[in-house]
Structure 1
Amino acid sequence: MTTSSDQQHREAALTDTVLRSFESCTDPRLKLVLQSLVQHLHDFIRDVRLTEDEWRTAIDFLTEAGHITDDKRQEFILLSDVLGASMQTIAVNNEAFKDATESTVWGPFFVDGSPEIPLGGDMTLGAAGEPCWVEGSITDTDGNPVPDALVEVWEADENGRYDVQYRDGRTAARAHLRTGDDGGYRFWAVTPTPYPIPHDGPVGALLAAVGRSPMRAAHLHFLVRAAGYRELVTHIFVEGDELLADDAVFGVKASLVKQFERARGATPDGRELDGRSWSRVRFDIVLAPHGS
């Protein structure tokens, strides 16, 4: 759509006026962020020639996202995730460093205060699913073990639901443990399965409107913290999952796709599974130094 030079001048003048309104801000970072936001937002409105009806629809969408958000559901994180903003922020803030393990999205279901389990413990806490033995080591980029690192793990059950999505107050399929002196860790989980992100709200309506699936590739979440090292938020994904190329939140990275081997019989720790099948996976984690 072609606009007259007078109209272009009027629109540019408004943007300049709004930008000047932040000139007295004494926080240079806040000033930079807000002025850049205004510039890009105004450019977007002018680029697509946003209609007033579309603007009202956007306001209604954000209002609905606010209303559906509570202490167990964060619709704005979902929105950030499906627009790729979460992954782009992670990319900006976690620059590649040697062979350090890659980061990916937090997702909306992390909860502080998970139960502590010992090495080799069971983080499922009764969650439904096929047992999965998870083990690995945590080292620095020179190959030195990182003892006493905090490892938070959480996942959905075989029904595709996290504990906080149930209404009975359960705590399941989430826990934390610490690495041993050799930097090793191990625990029982459930074999990850694909599941949809919550799509009964405005974000789900957005995905439906544009023909996108709400499904996430099967994964297991990790959060690793250790003194002197960059915090790591990541997942591992299941090799062969058909959704690896179509993850709703763009979280899949090739380096995080792991082989989950199927097994029967004796388990690594002698656990009796009454003939049930189980899986196992190894995930060796490399931490980047703090400030890298």
Structure 2
Amino acid sequence: MEYCLAPLEHIAPAGFSLPANACDTHAHVVTDDTDAYPFVTNRSYTPPAAPEKRYLSMLEKTGMQRGVLVQISVYGDDNRYMLQVLKRHPHNLRGIGVVRETITDQQLREMHEAGVRGLRINVLFGGGTGFDAMETLARKIADYGWHMQFLLDARQLPELLPRLKKLPVPGVIDHMGHMPVAEGTNHPGFRAMQELIEHHGWWVKLSGAYRISEDFPEFKDVVPWAQALIATSEDRMLWGSDWPHVSITRMPDTGHLLSQLTTWAPQAAIRKKILVDNPATLYGFTS
């Protein structure tokens, strides 16, 4: 299996002044030690090394002080490397883990102490945990104040709504729903996202524009989509880089992706909510 493209070495300036304690809520780390941390055989892609040092450099270059690491699918439920990175940065990093239904309370407690604040359901790439496990896992994490994070295609949401609305924890939807923006904001999948945000306290990550757009590298077709989500509830929006941008054919500039926020949310006060206040609330960052 060929390696994915590597992220760009040069990162453009953000294009606006970031507020203090800005947070990138979606990135992955991949060690170059594949012997100690082997990839799962049923993975959908093979990422290049994107280790802790380079990840922290990306945060610095984009002007971010905080970050949320999401367990990458190629490691399956082997969260060891992510947890090690979290433990080295307890004040400014949090994590989203991937586990199976057999996870014990003791294991969850240890993950919480390391900085994990949610679990990911991933039905788009091999190595993830699927919908069958979500009710069981949601019950197990409810007392920790965690959430469930969903990598899915929002066109799946209408059918899933009855189950999702009953979960005892809030949900976070990755990459603005990971459905083509060409479907339009009147699509039932988009409407379902709005229902979860408005009536069930869910969150959406304003990330992965290049995964849902037909307009590389400007992504102008994403503007009405992102603005409609922000208008649904600016208090439930998060921003994520999705670095190191795996499993794509053209590599975006992470700084340019961040600069999109000036169009999606022209008001500095709303950008502060998306970059600082909302992540602090969801992931438990403190000053």
- TM (norm. structure 2) is 0.25
The structure number with the bigger radius of gyration is 1
- TM (norm. structure 1) is 0.25
Richer in strand (by share): 1
Richer in helix (by share): 2
Higher relative contact order (CA 8 A, sep 6+): 2
